[in-house]
Amino acid sequence: MREDLSEGGECTFAVTAGGQPAMAEVRLGYPEREQRCQAATGEVPAPSSLHYAIFQIPAEQALALDLN
């Protein structure tokens, strides 16, 4: 996850494995709801109220997961 702290900046996520985009089940938790999607990249709406972010990837992709 990366957040651009300049005015109007966005917060985004990107999941990669072996240097390539990797699809993941993404769960973003907010006080009143949870947002779910299947994606390798995307925007994180309202990052200041985000309580948690969970990224689940298939086991075969986890061996090559990039954590930077």
Domain chopping of the chain, boundaries = 2-62
Q: Which helix (H) or strand (E) holds 11?
A: strand 11-14
pLDDT at 34: 97
For 32, residues 6+ apart whose C-beta sits below 8 A from its C-beta are none
Average pLDDT for runs of 10 along the chain of length 68: 88 89 95 96 95 87 56
For 3, residues 6+ apart whose C-beta sits below 8 A from its C-beta are 9, 10, 11, 44, 47
pLDDT at 59: 72
